[in-house]
Amino acid sequence: MEPIHERMRARPVIFDGAMGTMIYQKGVFINTCYDELSLSNGKLIAEIHAEYRDAGAEVLETNSFGANRVKLAAFGMGEKAVEINRAAVAIARGVAGSDRYVAGSVGPCLYAYEAFDGSRSREFADAFDEQCAALAGAGADFIQLETFTHLAELRLAVAAARRCGLPVSACFTVNEEGVASDGNTIETIAGALCMDGSVDVIGINCGMGPAGALQALERIAHTCSKPVVVMPNAGYPQDVGGRTMYLTSPDYFATYSRRFIQAGARGVGGCCGTTPGHIAAAVAVIKNLAEVKVYRAVKAVAAPAGVAETPFAEKSRFAARLAKGEPVTSVEIVPPRSMDLTAMLGKAAKCKERGADAINIPDGPRASARINNLIAAVRIQETTGIEAIPHFCSRDRNLLALQGDLMGGWAAGLKNFLFVTGDPPKIGDYPDMTGVFDMDSIGLVQMAVNLNRGHDLAGHPVGAPSALVIGVAANPCAVDLAREIDRFYKKIDAGAEYAITQPVFDPDALIRFLDTVRAHGRTIPVVAGVWPLASYRNAVFMATEVPGVSVPPAVLDRMSCCTTGEDSRRAGIDIALEIKEKIRPYVQGFQVSAPGGNVDTALSVLEL
């Protein structure tokens, strides 16, 4: 398999949950050396691994968290360190097989209540060297350092793990304030690990429940250059009848697992108190996120001899303006939940009268059930004469349906499209719905290019070629900006002709994004998405619930000061106008959303 950090960059990975919790639940007393069970009761450990495997975990951590000679010495087993670690890998590998990762678990030599004493550095380094070498030699896929509370000790473990030649994941523990036991903040620890390049994955584990872990993740996600894994406890421990219990349900854990991914985590697992039930619930939620799908590739097909593709400038009025470098304006109107298009058509007509170039129509935004946006787009064009730009997403349709709908849209007179992967079903009205996601937006672009060359997905001729205007989305505030830029280039390489960004609330982020992509000379016309906030509640919703959108604290503070609905509306328009003015030199136009369906607000921002 590819190295774990490469897999995590491609899509999020599901780790397993707690080992100690499961051993305790199966009746083993807490004064037992749990690591030694890999020798004396391997069947029990294999059973736990199998439960996590069957729950859907893609990474199984060895039962070796405390299997260094310093910790084992307390049980009189220091000399068995190598033997225990090798046995732990063998058991995990036997369950994992060849299609799951085995992580060699390495915990600190220090106990949670101990302070780091520099005079013990050599002792700790030797212990880590011995353990990491044993795990690597037995066949672990990578070293998982976890629950470290002192940066100095973690550095010793990192060095030892690096010497064994395997990829290194370094996880640390902070409190609810984001501070470790040694006084270092989460930003300091993450920054130090990223800066020296000695680790491949950075993680947050133990010390807090899901809510606290999300706050911690948000503090480092935008600055961390490594894939991040989050493995919180199930919650806060409570004593129930003499047992330590974590009273957080699997559903609650799963809800936060989705939020971890949307906040930028590339791996999710569990620590103390989590069980296969928690992991199974997380898998059920995450499997429907677009970010974790393995998409089908679409092969490019050349145009037949004598068939010329339509030049971009000749495809539509909207494309012609973009091709000439003229500014464009678009208003986003969400299709109704009812079958009555009267109100939507009236809003589109008003936008046409005021001089907007196009109406942008989402495809089931936030996974909500609405009237088909392609039908709405056709009606808008036929009724008002303004061009429509329907979104076209892969969430709900398989390959055949995608191709058929796109061909049908073209035959019905639609020319401009925005190809997107789509919001995950879990965030919408039908959270148990299964997303299809046969293709992502890159595959959709290639499919459109093939139709423009007169061929379908299978390479069969479809008669006269289409002349689809191929648009894509761009997210200048993406958590993993390098990945977003790489995907942007891939969209361009596939045939994208223009881009519309996610709503921009941080102008500097957009400018940085555009400067970066244009520095390599590979770009297309970019239209900036602008969202005039309607209220403070709307601002908080955009900041916390809409994937890919970042609302700076200054904007939230400004909206929080509004005391009436009209004050909020005016403030939202003013903020949008200020953002427009700052980014105007960098983009070729604006798409403004109509909050609550209020096109007058959108037209005020467009100054039409």
How do residues 86-111 score in pLDDT, each as one tens digit? 999 999 999 999 999 999 999 999 98
pLDDT (0 to 100) of residue 548: 67
Kindly state whether residue 336 falls inside one of the protein's structural domains: yes
Residue 234 sits in the same domain as residue 376: no
The candidate with the shortest Cα–Cα distance to 50, out of 28, 22, 85, 30, is 22
Same domain membership, residue 272 and residue 326 = no
396 inside domain: yes
Residue 427 per-residue DSSP state: G
Where does a domain end: 287, 306, 328? 287
For residue 316, the SS3 value is: coil
Out of 236, 269, 287, a domain closes at 287
309 lies in a domain?
A: no
Q: How far apart are CA 445 and CA 473, in angstroms?
A: 11
Whether 352 and 488 share a structural domain = yes
Which residue stretches of the chain have pLDDT < 70? 236-247, 288-295, 366-367, 423-435, 479-480, 545, 547-548
Do 289 and 258 meet the contact criterion of CB atoms below 8 Å apart? yes
- Give a yes or no: residue 301 inside a domain: no
Structure tokens at 112: 């949670």
Upper half-sphere CA count for residue 360 (Cβ side, 13 Å):
29
Reduced 3-state DSSP string for 70-101: HHHHHHCCHHHHHHHHHHHHHHHHHHHCCCCE
pLDDT for 318: 97
CATH classification at residue 384: 3.20.20.220
Q: Are 235 and 245 in contact, with CB atoms under 8 Å apart?
A: no
- What pLDDT score was predicted for residue 315? 97
Residue appearing with tokens 């047992």: 243
Both 107 and 253 in one domain: the answer is: yes
Do 481 and 376 reside in the same domain of the chain?
A: yes
**Could you say which of 287, 307, 338 is where a domain stops?**
287
Identify whether 292 is part of a domain.
no
Q: Check whether residue 117 and residue 178 sit in a common domain.
A: yes
Same-domain check for residues 230 and 340:
no
Q: DSSP assignment of 504-547, as one string?
A: PS-HHHHHHHHHHHHHTT----EEEEE-----HHHHHHHHHHST
For residues 379 and 515, state if they share a domain: yes
Q: What is the pLDDT of residue 434?
A: 66
> Do residues 121 and 193 both lie within one domain?
yes
Query: Structurally, how many domains does the chain consist of?
Result: 2
Give the separation between CA 256 and CA 285, rounded to whole angstroms: 10
- Provide the CATH number for the domain around residue 76: 3.20.20.330
Decide if 421 is inside a domain. Answer: yes
Residue 608 has a pLDDT of 79
Q: Tell me: do 228 and 132 sit in the same domain.
A: yes
Any domain includes 293: no
Token look-up 């073209």 returns: 410
> Tokens at residue 583, please?
């980014």
What beta strand segments (E) does 367-463 contain? 387-393, 416-420
pLDDT score, position 287: 74
Q: Measure CA 162 to chain center.
A: 28
Check whether residue 582 and residue 452 sit in a common domain. Answer: yes
Residue 36 DSSP SS3? coil
Asked if residue 186 and residue 139 are part of one domain, the reply reads yes
Q: What is the pLDDT of residue 295?
A: 64
pTM exceeds 0.85: no
Question: What is the extent of the structural domain holding 105?
Answer: 4-287
CA 433 to CA 396: how far, in whole Å? 9
Cβ burial of 383 (10 Å; 0-12, 13-18, 19+) is middle
62 occurs within a structural domain = yes
- Using an 8 Å Cβ cutoff, are 434 and 288 in contact? yes
